[in-house]
Structure 1
Amino acid sequence: AYSIDEWLAGEGIDVRLILVKGGCLHHKFMIVDGKILMTGSYNFTNESEFRNHEAAIFTNNKALIQSFAAEFDRLWSLAVLPTSVESTAVPPNPAAVEQLQQGPGSAGT
């Protein structure tokens, strides 16, 4: 089965997994070049993009970015390399990837 972690690794992304006991890691945020923080309910999926009502907040507030960067570092220190973790995930929609690469406000362009 093709997994999202395999796809990301194939694209040169350093992938790590956090093993949790019950529940799931539901933290959603992204820091771009240490300058922009995105956080909210938004999932990077077709459902989130085209069907769900989601929220995404973008900010360049340095204190918030530092706080989220510290949280990322904490989570990264707990993470492990993927080995034989199976997933039924499929690669992201190419149009959604292109839109993410173009940046905020590029929808429909």
Structure 2
Amino acid sequence: MTATTQRPVSPIRRGREPLWRELLGLRLRRLRHQRGETLGETAERAGVSPQYLSEMERGVKDPSSEMIAAVAGALGVTLLDLTVGVTQELTGGGRPSGAVVFAPFGLAA
């Protein structure tokens, strides 16, 4: 038996809602590619291993806020800008989805 690395299947291909960490990873990879950098270059500046950054980009890791901030800084973006960008992707570019969510509980006064 050979060991295989599990890669998340694209949420679009599986027809499921994407996870935040998957969209975060796609955004990190896009930013790194826009800068023309290798995994090693970005990882070194962020203080993480290239393997860890690769796992973040593939949506395999659920990184801490400190790790996300370190990589964001290495890519020249703020944690806020990165988070807003991922959130906009989750919400369809900031447009309301039309879905109404009902909470199964109320808040006590």
TM-score, normalised via structure 1 length: 0.23
Task: Name whichever structure is richer in strand by fraction.
Answer: 1
TM-score, normalised via structure 2 length: 0.23
Which of structures 1 and 2 has the larger relative contact order (alpha carbons within 8 angstroms, sep 6+)? 1
